[in-house]
Amino acid sequence: MRKVFTLCLLLLAVSSFAKRPNYYVRIKTVYGECIIRLYNETPLHRDNFVKLTKKGHYNGTLFHRVIQNFMIQGGDPDSRDTAKNKPGMELGNGDVGYTVPAEFRDSLFHKRGVLAAARDDIPSKASSGCQFYIVEGKRFTDEDLDKLIQTRMKGRQIPPSQRSVYKSAGGSPHLDQNYTVYGEVVSGLDMVDLIAAVKKDKNDRPLTDVPMTVSLLKRSECRRLDKILSPTL
């Protein structure tokens, strides 16, 4: 009888876990807002981003490095610290005292709109514990991609399905398998385009600060989005 009861509890727990919605976060700026779905395929990065968001880590930090047709980067805690952040100062060296192990997945690549982890240039390719970027990217032709494979990707091939996305929607393919992709914008991608286009200094820092507020969506909102996006999940 006890074994049956234990089995029922286990099945109930598995069923409950299976029904748990994906995590979604909202990033708000003066240029609008976007909603990002965090990938379950990269649980270490997902859980770390959720943890920092719950703690309010990102609130008030800046998108401190922006490159049009490439990406916008933020999350540096120093960008919130007025003692370390003076107008014109180079940002991007702040951290939270730990890194996150790389979670490369063949199915996750740097298409337009993905969320990925910044990192220092270290052999393990472990991610920054807090800094991230969102890919704006650009469209490529087959000739562009073939040249990129030879010059910047050391001969590593791009799967046909991903090549098609880079040609139609765009992205930054040379970052694949070098930086962990762990989410994607599901609405509000125009915010990324607007931020990427702002005037900036020699360090690619916007001349006018672009602070952000990051929050987790409620579970009911997450379930609604899962239902809407179910064909693509």
State mean pLDDT over 27-42: 98
55 lies in a domain?
A: yes
Per-residue pLDDT tens over the stretch 57-73: 999 999 999 999 999 99
6 lies in a domain?
A: no
pLDDT of res. 19: 67
3 lies in a domain?
A: no
pLDDT of res. 2: 58
78 lies in a domain?
A: yes
**CATH number of the domain where residue 209 is located:** 2.40.100.10
State mean pLDDT over 101-121: 97
In the predicted model, is pLDDT for residue 134 greater than 90?
Answer: yes
Provide the residue range defining the domain that includes 216. 20-135+174-232
Tallying the residues shown for the chain, one arrives at 233
What is the model's pTM? 0.91
In the predicted model, is pLDDT for residue 86 greater than 90?
Answer: no
152 lies in a domain?
A: no
Per-residue pLDDT tens over the stretch 152-189: 999 999 999 999 999 999 999 999 999 999 999 999 99
Q: Please give the tally of structural domains in the chain.
A: 1
pLDDT of res. 220: 95
Instruction: Name the β-bridge partners of 213.
Output: 28
Pairing label, strands 24-29, 32-38: antiparallel
pLDDT of res. 88: 83
79 lies in a domain?
A: yes
68 lies in a domain?
A: yes
Backbone angles phi and psi of 104, in degrees to 5: -80, 135
Nearest to 213 by CA among 16, 74, 69: 74
88 lies in a domain?
A: yes
